Amino acid sequence: MIAVIKQYPFAMLVSVLDRQPLVTHIPIIYNEATDKLVAHIDKYNPQVATLKNGAEVTVVFRGPDTYISPSVYTTKQLPTWNYIIVHIKGTISLINDPEDAKDTMIAMTNFLEGTAQKFVLDKDNRGMRNSINYIQAFEINITNWEGKLKLSQDKNEQDQENAKKELIKKSREDITGFIGEMYL
């Protein structure tokens, strides 16, 4: 599950306000040293009203997924959908100190930049200094982990391999045309 969180850190933060679910899509990273999730959100996002110390939230990390046609199987099957998902439940701990909030932004940038580190966010970065008062940093104290994997594991070995290849193929699919249309 940690591998999914690291590979797919753009997650759905889910909380409830007046019995209405609120969802915000934000990068959320896992801090191995503290066993907590760390993130920040725009203070003007309506979901911030639900983020109080001790408030319960759910975070959904969505890994790869794809439709699996019966045509990829060697045996007679129905169409299905394969996926990898992680649900984390936890409680909020707000980070209100601006210097600590900057540390979360630096940690997230370092993680997201990866080993190439083409950009290093400096604690004295002017842009961060100017925007720090407009974000709410927070940690999520993990109370429950739930991994959901549907990878044709109930099929024979060859059909599992064929479904795996289909998931890999879909994950590598060129989306240039789709993205180009979104920018029109």
- How far CA 133 is from CA of 48, 77, 121, 128, in Å, comes to 14, 55, 17, 9
Fold held by 2-182: Pnp Oxidase; Chain A (2.30.110)
Q: Which residues of the chain have pLDDT under 50?
A: none
Is residue 149 a contact partner of residue 126, using CB atoms and an 8 Å limit? Answer: no
Q: How far apart are CA 65 and CA 77, in angstroms?
A: 18
What is the model's pLDDT at position 184? 85
**What pLDDT does 116 receive?**
87
Q: What is the pLDDT of residues 158-176, one digit of tens each?
A: 999 999 999 999 988 888 9
- Tens of pLDDT, residues 36-54: 999 999 999 999 999 999 9
Determine the pLDDT at residue 43.
Answer: 97
For 57, the token pair is 């939230």
Tell me, what amino acid is at 4?
V
- Please state whether beta strands 20-27 and 36-42 pair in parallel, antiparallel, or not at all (unpaired): unpaired
- Bridge partners (DSSP) of residue 80 are 68
| Res 91: pLDDT | 98
